[in-house]
Structure 1
């Protein structure tokens, strides 16, 4: 007996069934994602280029340091000089929208995996499929379910970029030292208090590493998502490919790289704690408190001790 079974035919039947029976739900999802994406894009595109460069430069100075702030200033000015600022903001809005949605879904999923081995066993093959499936494949159902534009591009990006934040949230919570858990239980923490006051704070570096990787994977989908009308810098790269225009493709690719470096360094700083100008100000503040406490206790300050020694 021959079994005539086609995986592709089964996928077609599934997609057609969803289109025939769940169109209102798909429209609701598209409306919600369109609201998030459109709101973020409207804000970012509405910021004047000089103001946007200043904001990102100050953020780089605050979180990373003055050397990287200079790099960010020069690089973003170059992007604006190439006439790609609006496309960069469209790309940034797509990345931020996909990251927000991925974090809202991914962190609770990672928490559920950390708390239940059964949930982890169910989600792990799904995450494996999401990570290993070629990115182009996500464009087909996204375009069929949601048409063309930023919404299907955002959805395809979320599916492609979400696994790191789920996996690293699960890993971070599982790697919290047992001593911390025992101390929390000894002080009478409820399960929710143990999660929010002990496990999540200690797992935050791992979670932020997952968010960082999600942002980087979202950027890697920029050119691919432009094939279904997502817009942004991907259009410049795609135009360069279609017209064999090396200059246009190189400029679009360079802008993507600059945006990736800026976002990577800034998001990494949140996982590592205070850095750059923030660390300097924290040090100055702590030094001032120590000096004030020393004076209140009758201990001479460093300058006074140096003067007395002289």
Structure 2
């Protein structure tokens, strides 16, 4: 007698129950995802292509320097040259929407886990499960609940990408020097103020590394999302694989690489304080500190010196 545990049947029945019971919720959520996707795509698709290239190049110059600005412009011009601009815009919109929602969910959850050991013990195995489950498996319930199109690609990308954001945020908050936190507590600061003004600023490099990983994992799901009708560069890659079209596959694949490099370098620059904008901020901060120090020295020099009181005779 063969013994078999029908785990797949149980999970399938659970998602069937979700679809039947909360179809109104998933339909509304689907419309929200579609509207967000359309709004982001409209922002990048409305201006002329060269205008977008120029704006991105200026942003790259401010964020990282002239080499990154030149590389960004050349990469985007390559995408235009291989006629993948519209698909790249769709993929970028999907990545930005999914990454934004993943950050909104993962960063607060990571902060909560860092401040509560019970939450951390619950969140860690869940994140392990989400990271190790094959990405294609996410598409099955997402497709059942949100139908074909952008929405299942967004939800599958969120689930797949949010784990490193939670982990690195918790790691960054827990890694803040306890003496600094205790100093804030000694001055009577509220825990929320300590979190906002001490822990989050000091943990920002780790948090930004988590956001960078969220964006990279979101971009890695672009091709997989093409299997559920999300379109964009992933749709072309899927089409190229189906038709064994090497030309289309290489053009779409290299366009994905360009987007990945751009997004990775942009997010990394924010965490490391690079580029002209960061230099300007540091110079401005240095000038402000120098002015405050000069004013303090002037006030000290103008203050009357204390004279010793005359001694009393016996």
Q: TM-score, normalised by structure 2?
A: 0.89
> In structure 2, what is the equivalent of residue 301 of structure 1?
none
> In structure 2, what is the equivalent of residue 66 of structure 1?
66
Contact 1:82 1:251 in 2 (8 A): yes
Q: Unpaired segments of 5 or more residues in structure 1?
A: 299-310
Contact 1:63 1:276 in 2 (8 A): yes
**Which structure 2 residues correspond to residues 66-105 of structure 1 after superposition, within 5 A?**
66-105=66-105
Superposed CA RMSD? 2.2
Q: Unpaired segments of 5 or more residues in structure 2?
A: 299-314
> In structure 1, what is the equivalent of residue 246 of structure 2?
246
Instruction: Tell me the CA shift for residue 38 of structure 1.
Output: 2.1
Contact 2:33 2:150 in 1 (8 A): no
> In structure 1, what is the equivalent of residue 39 of structure 2?
39
> In structure 2, what is the equivalent of residue 213 of structure 1?
213
Contact 1:58 1:69 in 2 (8 A): yes
Return closer, same or farther for 1:290/1:54 CA change in 2, 3 Å cut-off.
Answer: same
Return closer, same or farther for 1:168/1:284 CA change in 2, 3 Å cut-off.
Answer: closer
Deviations 1:146-185 (A, max 9, x none): 0011111100000001101111111110000011101110
Return closer, same or farther for 1:199/1:43 CA change in 2, 3 Å cut-off.
Answer: same
Q: d(CA) in 1 for partners of 2:285 and 2:204?
A: 24
> In structure 2, what is the equivalent of residue 182 of structure 1?
182
Return closer, same or farther for 1:257/1:187 CA change in 2, 3 Å cut-off.
Answer: same
Instruction: Tell me the CA shift for residue 29 of structure 1.
Output: 1.8
**Which structure 2 residues correspond to residues 7-156 of structure 1 after superposition, within 5 A?**
7-156=7-156
Instruction: Tell me the CA shift for residue 35 of structure 1.
Output: 2.4
Contact 1:150 1:229 in 2 (8 A): yes
Q: Which moved more, 1:18-27 or 1:204-213?
A: 18-27
Number of aligned residue pairs: 297
Return closer, same or farther for 1:183/1:289 CA change in 2, 3 Å cut-off.
Answer: closer
In the alignment, does 2:137 pair up with 1:164?
A: no
Other structure's SS at 1:189 match: coil
Q: TM-score, normalised by structure 1?
A: 0.90
Deviations 1:34-77 (A, max 9, x none): 22222212222223211111111111110111011111111111
Instruction: Tell me the CA shift for residue 97 of structure 1.
Output: 0.2
Instruction: Tell me the CA shift for residue 126 of structure 1.
Output: 0.9
Deviations 1:116-171 (A, max 9, x none): 11111111111111111111111111110000111111000000011011111111
Instruction: Tell me the CA shift for residue 16 of structure 1.
Output: 1.1
Q: d(CA) in 1 for partners of 2:59 and 2:83?
A: 23
Larger radius of gyration: 2
